[in-house]
Structure 1
Amino acid sequence: MDWKLEVVSIPVADVEKAKQFYSERLGFVVDHDTRISPGTRIVQLTPRGSACSIVIGAPAGGAVRGLQLVVPDIDAARAELAGRGVEVSDVKHYEKDGTLADGKGGRWNSFVFFNDLDGNGWVLQERPSGE
Protein backbone atom coordinates (compact mmCIF):
# COMPACT_ATOMS: atom_id res chain seq x y z
CA MET A 1 0.00 0.00 0.00
CA ASP A 2 1.29 3.49 -0.91
CA TRP A 3 1.07 6.27 1.66
CA LYS A 4 1.25 9.66 -0.02
CA LEU A 5 1.33 13.03 1.63
CA GLU A 6 -0.98 15.20 -0.46
CA VAL A 7 -1.93 18.22 1.70
CA VAL A 8 -0.20 20.22 4.43
CA SER A 9 -2.17 22.78 6.50
CA ILE A 10 -0.46 26.15 6.90
CA PRO A 11 -1.68 28.53 9.65
CA VAL A 12 -2.33 32.09 8.41
CA ALA A 13 -3.83 35.22 9.95
CA ASP A 14 -5.33 36.64 6.74
CA VAL A 15 -6.49 34.14 4.11
CA GLU A 16 -6.73 36.69 1.29
CA LYS A 17 -3.23 38.09 1.87
CA ALA A 18 -1.80 34.58 2.20
CA LYS A 19 -3.55 33.48 -1.01
CA GLN A 20 -2.03 36.43 -2.87
CA PHE A 21 1.45 35.69 -1.43
CA TYR A 22 1.39 32.03 -2.39
CA SER A 23 -0.23 32.48 -5.81
CA GLU A 24 1.31 35.76 -6.98
CA ARG A 25 4.73 35.78 -5.32
CA LEU A 26 5.49 32.05 -5.14
CA GLY A 27 3.56 31.06 -8.25
CA PHE A 28 1.50 28.31 -6.60
CA VAL A 29 -1.63 27.25 -8.52
CA VAL A 30 -4.94 27.96 -6.76
CA ASP A 31 -6.76 24.61 -6.83
CA HIS A 32 -9.87 25.86 -5.06
CA ASP A 33 -11.11 28.67 -2.85
CA THR A 34 -14.17 27.55 -0.89
CA ARG A 35 -16.31 29.35 1.68
CA ILE A 36 -17.75 26.61 3.85
CA SER A 37 -19.66 29.05 6.04
CA PRO A 38 -19.61 32.83 6.65
CA GLY A 39 -16.56 32.51 8.94
CA THR A 40 -14.80 29.58 7.31
CA ARG A 41 -12.80 29.77 4.09
CA ILE A 42 -10.43 27.11 2.80
CA VAL A 43 -7.95 27.73 -0.04
CA GLN A 44 -5.86 24.92 -1.53
CA LEU A 45 -2.75 25.78 -3.54
CA THR A 46 -0.16 23.58 -5.23
CA PRO A 47 3.44 24.38 -6.18
CA ARG A 48 4.02 23.88 -9.92
CA GLY A 49 4.94 20.25 -10.57
CA SER A 50 4.19 19.09 -7.01
CA ALA A 51 2.04 16.15 -5.93
CA CYS A 52 1.53 17.80 -2.53
CA SER A 53 -0.61 20.89 -1.90
CA ILE A 54 -1.03 23.31 0.96
CA VAL A 55 -4.29 24.41 2.56
CA ILE A 56 -4.68 27.80 4.19
CA GLY A 57 -7.64 28.78 6.33
CA ALA A 58 -8.43 29.97 9.83
CA PRO A 59 -5.48 30.75 12.11
CA ALA A 60 -4.21 27.73 14.00
CA GLY A 61 -1.63 29.34 16.29
CA GLY A 62 2.11 29.09 15.87
CA ALA A 63 4.04 28.71 12.67
CA VAL A 64 5.22 25.76 10.61
CA ARG A 65 8.98 25.52 10.00
CA GLY A 66 11.02 23.58 7.48
CA LEU A 67 8.51 23.22 4.66
CA GLN A 68 10.72 22.19 1.78
CA LEU A 69 10.49 22.63 -1.97
CA VAL A 70 13.00 20.82 -4.21
CA VAL A 71 14.13 22.63 -7.36
CA PRO A 72 16.50 21.71 -10.22
CA ASP A 73 18.30 25.11 -10.24
CA ILE A 74 18.66 26.89 -6.89
CA ASP A 75 20.02 30.11 -8.41
CA ALA A 76 17.16 30.42 -10.92
CA ALA A 77 14.55 29.61 -8.25
CA ARG A 78 16.04 32.19 -5.88
CA ALA A 79 16.11 34.83 -8.63
CA GLU A 80 12.48 34.09 -9.54
CA LEU A 81 11.26 34.50 -5.96
CA ALA A 82 13.34 37.63 -5.37
CA GLY A 83 11.96 39.06 -8.63
CA ARG A 84 8.45 38.52 -7.26
CA GLY A 85 9.27 40.46 -4.10
CA VAL A 86 9.90 37.52 -1.74
CA GLU A 87 12.63 38.17 0.84
CA VAL A 88 14.95 35.20 0.31
CA SER A 89 18.32 34.33 1.79
CA ASP A 90 21.46 33.97 -0.24
CA VAL A 91 22.28 30.41 -1.34
CA LYS A 92 23.68 28.50 1.64
CA HIS A 93 25.07 25.04 2.37
CA TYR A 94 25.73 23.03 5.51
CA GLU A 95 29.31 22.47 6.65
CA LYS A 96 30.36 19.15 8.21
CA ASP A 97 29.90 20.66 11.69
CA GLY A 98 26.26 21.54 10.88
CA THR A 99 26.74 25.28 10.51
CA LEU A 100 25.38 27.18 7.53
CA ALA A 101 27.88 28.76 5.14
CA ASP A 102 27.50 30.95 2.07
CA GLY A 103 27.41 29.47 -1.43
CA LYS A 104 26.54 26.11 -2.93
CA GLY A 105 27.58 22.87 -1.29
CA GLY A 106 27.88 19.35 -2.67
CA ARG A 107 25.07 17.09 -3.88
CA TRP A 108 21.74 17.90 -2.22
CA ASN A 109 23.52 20.60 -0.16
CA SER A 110 22.37 23.96 -1.60
CA PHE A 111 19.53 25.82 0.14
CA VAL A 112 17.60 29.10 0.12
CA PHE A 113 15.40 30.12 3.07
CA PHE A 114 12.34 32.39 3.25
CA ASN A 115 9.22 33.02 5.34
CA ASP A 116 5.64 33.71 4.29
CA LEU A 117 3.68 36.66 5.67
CA ASP A 118 2.79 34.73 8.86
CA GLY A 119 6.31 33.52 9.67
CA ASN A 120 5.90 30.01 8.25
CA GLY A 121 9.42 28.96 7.25
CA TRP A 122 10.18 27.54 3.81
CA VAL A 123 13.35 26.02 2.36
CA LEU A 124 14.33 25.56 -1.28
CA GLN A 125 16.76 22.69 -1.84
CA GLU A 126 18.59 21.99 -5.09
CA ARG A 127 18.14 18.47 -6.47
CA PRO A 128 21.14 17.18 -8.43
CA SER A 129 20.61 16.78 -12.17
CA GLY A 130 19.11 13.44 -13.17
CA GLU A 131 17.91 12.51 -9.68
Structure 2
Amino acid sequence: MDWKIELIFVPVSDVDRAKEFYIGIGFHADFDSEPYEGLRFVQLTPPGSACSIAIGTGLGSKMEAGGLDNIQVVVADADAALAQLREAGVDANGVDEQEWGRFVTFADPDGNTWTLQQLPAHG
Protein backbone atom coordinates (compact mmCIF):
# COMPACT_ATOMS: atom_id res chain seq x y z
CA MET A 1 0.00 0.00 0.00
CA ASP A 2 1.32 3.46 -0.95
CA TRP A 3 1.39 6.26 1.62
CA LYS A 4 1.52 9.62 -0.08
CA ILE A 5 2.07 12.95 1.62
CA GLU A 6 -0.16 15.36 -0.26
CA LEU A 7 -0.69 18.39 1.99
CA ILE A 8 1.39 20.22 4.59
CA PHE A 9 -0.04 23.08 6.64
CA VAL A 10 2.18 26.15 6.85
CA PRO A 11 1.27 28.59 9.64
CA VAL A 12 1.15 32.22 8.50
CA SER A 13 -0.05 35.48 10.03
CA ASP A 14 -1.24 37.17 6.82
CA VAL A 15 -2.82 34.82 4.27
CA ASP A 16 -2.80 37.28 1.36
CA ARG A 17 0.85 38.23 1.92
CA ALA A 18 1.87 34.56 2.16
CA LYS A 19 -0.16 33.63 -0.92
CA GLU A 20 1.51 36.42 -2.91
CA PHE A 21 4.95 35.30 -1.69
CA TYR A 22 4.46 31.66 -2.67
CA ILE A 23 2.96 32.52 -6.06
CA GLY A 24 5.91 34.88 -6.57
CA ILE A 25 8.39 32.01 -6.19
CA GLY A 26 6.50 29.82 -8.62
CA PHE A 27 3.85 27.96 -6.61
CA HIS A 28 0.53 27.35 -8.36
CA ALA A 29 -2.57 28.71 -6.61
CA ASP A 30 -4.86 25.66 -6.63
CA PHE A 31 -7.68 26.74 -4.36
CA ASP A 32 -8.79 29.71 -2.25
CA SER A 33 -12.07 29.51 -0.41
CA GLU A 34 -13.72 31.22 2.54
CA PRO A 35 -16.79 29.03 3.16
CA TYR A 36 -17.78 31.09 6.18
CA GLU A 37 -16.43 33.93 8.30
CA GLY A 38 -13.38 32.83 10.25
CA LEU A 39 -12.39 30.00 7.91
CA ARG A 40 -10.23 30.47 4.83
CA PHE A 41 -8.40 27.66 3.09
CA VAL A 42 -5.73 28.32 0.45
CA GLN A 43 -3.90 25.48 -1.27
CA LEU A 44 -0.71 26.07 -3.28
CA THR A 45 1.56 23.59 -5.05
CA PRO A 46 5.28 23.92 -5.79
CA PRO A 47 6.13 23.39 -9.46
CA GLY A 48 6.35 19.67 -10.26
CA SER A 49 5.32 18.56 -6.76
CA ALA A 50 2.71 15.98 -5.83
CA CYS A 51 2.50 17.59 -2.37
CA SER A 52 0.81 20.94 -1.77
CA ILE A 53 0.86 23.38 1.11
CA ALA A 54 -2.16 24.89 2.83
CA ILE A 55 -2.36 28.30 4.46
CA GLY A 56 -5.36 30.04 5.89
CA THR A 57 -7.32 31.07 8.93
CA GLY A 58 -9.42 28.98 11.29
CA LEU A 59 -7.64 25.77 10.30
CA GLY A 60 -7.09 24.68 13.89
CA SER A 61 -3.29 24.59 13.80
CA LYS A 62 -1.53 24.73 17.15
CA MET A 63 1.66 26.01 15.52
CA GLU A 64 2.42 29.71 15.63
CA ALA A 65 2.99 31.63 12.39
CA GLY A 66 6.60 31.17 11.36
CA GLY A 67 7.03 28.06 13.50
CA LEU A 68 7.70 25.63 10.67
CA ASP A 69 11.38 25.00 9.99
CA ASN A 70 11.58 21.53 8.59
CA ILE A 71 10.24 21.41 5.04
CA GLN A 72 12.79 20.02 2.61
CA VAL A 73 12.22 19.98 -1.12
CA VAL A 74 14.32 18.22 -3.75
CA VAL A 75 15.35 20.30 -6.77
CA ALA A 76 17.33 19.35 -9.87
CA ASP A 77 19.72 22.32 -9.67
CA ALA A 78 20.49 24.23 -6.47
CA ASP A 79 22.14 27.09 -8.36
CA ALA A 80 19.10 27.58 -10.60
CA ALA A 81 16.77 27.40 -7.58
CA LEU A 82 18.85 30.03 -5.78
CA ALA A 83 18.78 32.28 -8.86
CA GLN A 84 15.00 31.88 -9.17
CA LEU A 85 14.47 32.80 -5.53
CA ARG A 86 16.74 35.82 -5.73
CA GLU A 87 15.05 37.00 -8.96
CA ALA A 88 11.78 36.89 -7.01
CA GLY A 89 13.34 39.13 -4.33
CA VAL A 90 13.78 36.38 -1.73
CA ASP A 91 16.78 36.67 0.61
CA ALA A 92 17.90 33.05 0.13
CA ASN A 93 21.13 31.68 1.55
CA GLY A 94 23.77 30.66 -0.99
CA VAL A 95 24.40 27.06 -1.92
CA ASP A 96 25.76 24.99 0.97
CA GLU A 97 27.91 22.14 -0.40
CA GLN A 98 27.74 18.87 1.58
CA GLU A 99 28.58 15.24 0.81
CA TRP A 100 24.88 14.40 0.88
CA GLY A 101 23.79 17.21 -1.43
CA ARG A 102 23.78 20.90 -2.22
CA PHE A 103 21.39 23.02 -0.14
CA VAL A 104 19.66 26.39 -0.40
CA THR A 105 17.61 27.78 2.49
CA PHE A 106 15.08 30.58 2.59
CA ALA A 107 12.21 31.80 4.74
CA ASP A 108 8.74 33.05 3.91
CA PRO A 109 7.58 36.46 5.27
CA ASP A 110 6.59 34.86 8.60
CA GLY A 111 9.89 33.04 9.04
CA ASN A 112 8.81 29.52 8.04
CA THR A 113 12.07 28.03 6.81
CA TRP A 114 12.49 25.90 3.70
CA THR A 115 15.49 23.88 2.54
CA LEU A 116 15.98 23.00 -1.10
CA GLN A 117 18.24 20.00 -1.73
CA GLN A 118 19.98 19.01 -4.93
CA LEU A 119 20.73 15.33 -4.42
CA PRO A 120 24.32 14.20 -4.98
CA ALA A 121 25.14 12.57 -8.29
CA HIS A 122 25.16 8.79 -8.12
CA GLY A 123 28.09 7.18 -9.80
TM-score range, shorter chain: 0.7 to 0.9
Q: Which runs of 5+ in 2 are unaligned?
A: none
Contact 2:21/2:108 (8 A) holds in 1: yes
Give, in whole Å, the separation in 2 of the partners of 1:38 and 1:86: 32
Q: Which runs of 5+ in 1 are unaligned?
A: 93-103
What is the SS of the residue equivalent to 2:57? coil
Q: Aligned residues: percent identity?
A: 48
Give, in whole Å, the separation in 2 of the partners of 1:105 and 1:12: 31
Give, in whole Å, the separation in 2 of the partners of 1:117 and 1:36: 26
> Equivalent residues in 2 for 1:5-84 (5 A)?
5-24=5-24, 26-58=25-57, 60=61, 61-62=63-64, 63-84=67-88
Give, in whole Å, the separation in 2 of the partners of 1:73 and 1:117: 24
Moved over 6 A (4+): none
Give, in whole Å, the separation in 2 of the partners of 1:20 and 1:121: 17
Q: Deviation digits for residues 65-106 of structure 1, max 9, x if unmatched?
A: 1211111110011001001001100111xxxxxxxxxxx233
Q: In the alignment, what sits opposite 2:105?
A: 113
Give, in whole Å, the separation in 2 of the partners of 1:18 and 1:116: 7
Give, in whole Å, the separation in 1 of the partners of 2:119 and 2:48: 14
Q: CA deviation at 1:129?
A: 5.3
TM-score by length of 1: 0.83
1:86 pairs with 86, 90, 99, which one?
90
Q: CA deviation at 1:40?
A: 1.4
Q: CA deviation at 1:52?
A: 0.3
Give, in whole Å, the separation in 1 of the partners of 2:57 and 2:11: 7
Number of residue pairs the alignment of both structures matches = 117
TM-score by length of 2: 0.88
Please provide the CA RMSD for this pair: 1.5
